[in-house]
A and B are shown apart, each in its own frame.
Chain A
């Protein structure tokens, strides 16, 4: 069993106790524990179930690479799935529960998958569950959903807050081990602005655990002194608990800092996302130990040797009473020695190498530890817990020489540099044959905007694994980086005393000649259940690319993203393909290094300040009236103004009828308003609009269409000629910014010699539409201008003073009614609106919202950009040929519209539709055509673009596109409905109301 030792533990504070629960069971630990070490102290080795076979899973690692120890943490608003126990600091009251098991961790139904494992080989997702088709929905999916999946999605709103912080530096050092510290010291002393980030809560990396001696001092003391020296430099910032997640273009770095993760509810943000722009990046991110592939290497109790050493030295954890160490290198002997020094028994060190000669093995032997050279673990015995190992010859096929009882196994297959940050922006790797790993190729670094190297790798991340080498490399690369920044740093040469190590020997399968039975039990990816046999099968089935094999087998696709499995997996693949490892290559490393919480990415952008809101000057009035608001781009506009318990539907009907029969008021301030001015403004607008705007007389208005270069309709609106060289272009509410940018694009990039100036004045003016037969009465009541038919006829505008307000009145109509759109400076908007409401009271004026606006325009057959258009519709499709100039030699979209297929009689064109039964056709419905297409889908001949209940006509009305358009008037067609049925409708003129357009001219 695993327990807490009575002595030692360099990181824990035994004077204090933290209570926590795991699966409801109360446990205790100490400050300084990780959740992983605290669980081990309570003999809770079993932490989860694997994804596919639901095999029992124990802790394998002690850091970010841990594949098994993922738990649901907390409850309510602080519930979080998939929290890694090895990187979670223990705190008082922590609640954790294991995941991926059903019904319980100890007894799990999904483990039957294990019994049928030979039916669930590589690619099983693609091979199985395909047929018969109905089985997927009714059998496979429900079972898989019940028994698989990692963690649960939180149900409650996140109780915590998160923030973003921005920083700039000359040198960003990722990793606070001895290499990173040494590099930061050199660059900092040279005057560089340095940011040094360490993902863990403590500094120093492996050196203090491994007992290195630096400059004659214990590594821990050297680390403390380095930190003190850095703290004195104003140009250096250090942060622990801050994980560099990714390196992006031109020195952009994202890092996630844990702030209140371990002190929940203390008022501080839970996490902070750092957005850093760095001149250079120095990756001193260390190395990760590789598992060895022997049968049963996934049984709980089998752990990485370095992790076991961490737990013993840092947290005084005994992983078991009797441990077997299995290795292909000298470093793992440090674990054997540390365990022995802690008073624990080492049953044996099984070393795959035929000759074991280093200083560390010698020391182990001198301590009385049994060392077996040229041997292999043939298999691990035990189910939920290791009970022993069977030992054989590494060079053999698996014949058992001896069975050794033990309750823990420490394994080491060598170390792989953490090359993620080097690789994120394209840094290349080279294969280091001696250390059997990929490491950064300094001759092919990722580059910056100036073409110079952007990332420097140092220390173990650069392949300098041993403590002394890492320190020296940190000094060398720190100097190099500071010089690259144009500084004149002073070299440092700290010396570290570490034992000499003999060469490691690559071991990809243990024993080397293991047969299929053993290979089926050799795990590569512990979380996703990918075994040596799966990768070999993929190779036999023709998968040669490492990227394809990854996706086919799911190797490295678990939440640890292949941190443990990557090299072992591709070594097996390479061997199966009879290729070299460098030829097979590695999969791509992509950010983030470890998962980043969504909350941290969102930062403050949630709730009220999720995005900027645009409010018209009348916004407050609408809200005070209880208007139901809807988003229109970043604007919020009233959809309708319900009265009392009135439904939205009833409110819209009332608003439509009141506008048709009396007078309605619309806040039209969001309408786009762009001033186009200059000697060439008319010429420019003639290029922009499909019709002629240069000929528009001063004082008049004209409706116009804008198309993109393909000829498709892009925006529409009324243009007013203000004076000889000034036009005001109204755009759609959603189109103002886009159209202004479109104008600038052509003016700056194509016709830059034309003298035209544009200004988007959308927000400078509030606009009120006074609409309906009694509209004139309201304006007359306000008083100050002659708004008679004679003085201000339809499609003219006039400046003046109305009710004391400076106004510009446009007589334009989007409803077919007598209508005045009145613009006032935005600062007058709210007061003017209230004046209109007051003046209109005696005429029964009511405000109306966007839905009534849409119904009113649809009753008139007016198109709406985004409803009748979708980027594939030309004006001619909408019967708007009258708004296209035949005389102009050119306008944007003219050439596009000349493409022959746009003249096809088969194009879907605009028409109106009325159901025979008066009902409303569902939004999105299609007009059915006889027969089925090649995909067994019903043929169609058109679709709905706008569909409403018309209060004016008391029936459903619909605009839509149909093959043949208006030529089809009088025909009966069928639309599909949401219930799966159909509804019959007659093709009609899309102008449903006041066909002659007389009402707007009164």
Chain B
């Protein structure tokens, strides 16, 4: 059962307080997008063994969505940050690179 720190209220929340929202930093494709773009948005999800960016909601807490970077194999949590982010914060990316030199980046 994971522990993730909510970047809004600072609570170290247990998984039972959270609800998962799957992959983070998806770009929405609406009307006018190609079939390929829409398919990728809708269905093509990353499933890495290693560094992954996810959406979580502190549903039984402050109610805020946030993003988390963690290793899906070792469950190491590199950090959490607000959902209102276009990309992972630079210091977090640097931290992950230091911990996982072979990591190819979040894209």
Contacts and interface: CB of A to CB of B under 8 A. Distances in A.
B2 A749 contact: no
Interface string A410-453: 00000000000000011000000000000000000001111100
A165 to B, nearest CB: 16
Contacts of B42: 709-710, 896
Interface in A627-658: none
A639 B99 CA distance: 58
A479 to B, nearest CB: 25
A448 B19 CA distance: 21
Contact of B28 (A277, A426, A741, A750): A750
A249 B83 contact: no
Contact of B76 (A277, A449, A710, A748): A449
Contacts of A889: 31
B1 interface: yes
A935 B38 CA distance: 33
A249 B38 CA distance: 35
Interface string A55-74: 00000000000000000000
Interface string A480-495: 0000000000000000
B74 A890 contact: no
Contacts of B32: 895
B61 interface: no
A745 B22 CA distance: 12
Interface in B35-75: 35, 38, 41-42, 55, 57, 59, 63-65, 71, 73-75
A748 B75 contact: no
Contact of A449 (B2, B21, B59, B83): B2
Contacts, number: 72
B104 to A, nearest CB: 19
B92 to A, nearest CB: 14
Nearest to B74: A447
B83 A752 contact: yes
Contacts of A710: 42
B3 A250 contact: yes
Interface residues of B, number: 32
Interface in A63-87: none
Interface in A744-778: 744-745, 748-750, 752
Given A745-B21, A749-B55, A451 B74 contact: yes
A589 interface: no
Nearest to B70: A449
A895 B75 contact: no
B29 interface: yes
B62 to A, nearest CB: 11
A657 to B, nearest CB: 44
B31 to A, nearest CB: 5
B31 A250 contact: no
Contacts of B55: 749
B30 interface: yes
Contacts of B59: 741
A249 B76 contact: no
B34 to A, nearest CB: 10
Interface residues of A, number: 28
Contacts of B21: 745, 749
A741 B99 CA distance: 34
A895 B31 contact: yes
Contacts of B84: 748-749, 752
Interface string B1-25: 1110000000000110001010000
A840 B28 CA distance: 52
Contact of B74 (A252, A426, A741, A748): A426
A332 B24 CA distance: 58
A277 B71 CA distance: 20
A558 B51 CA distance: 37
A889 B31 CA distance: 7
Contacts of B64: 748
A846 to B, nearest CB: 40
A426 B75 CA distance: 10
A256 B104 CA distance: 43
Contacts of A749: 21, 55, 65, 83-84
Interface string A955-972: 000000000000000000
B2 A250 contact: yes
A895 B77 contact: no
B65 A249 contact: no
A895 B29 contact: yes
B76 A450 contact: yes
A129 B15 CA distance: 45
Given A750-B28, A894-B30, A895-B30, A250 B75 contact: yes
B63 A250 contact: no
Contacts of A249: 1-2, 15, 75
A894 B31 contact: yes
Contacts of A158: none
Nearest to B63: A744
A898 interface: yes
A576 B28 CA distance: 55
A249 B15 CA distance: 10
B17 to A, nearest CB: 13
A248 interface: yes
A105 B57 CA distance: 57
Contacts of A890: 30-31
**Which residue, of B38, B75, B77, has the highest number of chain A Cβ atoms within 10 A?**
B75
Nearest to B64: A748
A896 B38 CA distance: 8
A745 B42 CA distance: 16
A248 B1 contact: yes
A894 B29 CA distance: 11
Nearest to A446: B74
A902 to B, nearest CB: 12
Contacts of B35: 899
A499 B30 CA distance: 77
Interface in A122-159: none
B28 A748 contact: no
Contacts of B31: 889-890, 894-895, 898
A451 B76 contact: yes
A375 to B, nearest CB: 48
A233 B8 CA distance: 38
Given A250-B75, A894-B31, A451 B65 contact: no
Nearest to B35: A899
A744 B58 CA distance: 12
**Which residue, of B28, B55, B71, B84, has the highest number of chain A Cβ atoms within 10 A?**
B28
Contacts of B63: 744
Nearest to B66: A748
B65 A895 contact: no
B75 A449 contact: yes
**Which residue, of A248, A426, A749, A896, has the highest number of chain B Cβ atoms within 10 A?**
A749
Contacts of A447: 74-76
Contacts of A449: 2-3, 75-77
B70 to A, nearest CB: 8
Nearest to A709: B42
Contacts of A748: 64-65, 83-84
A750 B27 CA distance: 9
**Which residue, of A248, A449, A710, A750, has the highest number of chain B Cβ atoms within 10 A?**
A449
Contacts of A744: 57, 63, 65
In order of increasing CB-CB distance, the 3 nearest A-B pairs are A451-B76, A252-B1, A748-B65
6 contacts: A249-B2, A250-B3, A448-B75, A451-B71, A741-B19, A889-B31
Interface of B: 1-3, 14-15, 19, 21, 28-33, 35, 38, 41-42, 55, 57, 59, 63-65, 71, 73-77, 83-84, 99
Interface of A: 248-250, 252, 277, 425-426, 447-451, 709-710, 741, 744-745, 748-750, 752, 889-890, 894-896, 898-899
Given A744-B63, A749-B84, 19 more contacts: A249-B1, A249-B75, A425-B75, A447-B74, A449-B76, A451-B76, A710-B42, A741-B59, A745-B21, A748-B65, A748-B84, A749-B65, A894-B31, A895-B29, A895-B31, A895-B33, A896-B42, A898-B31, A899-B38
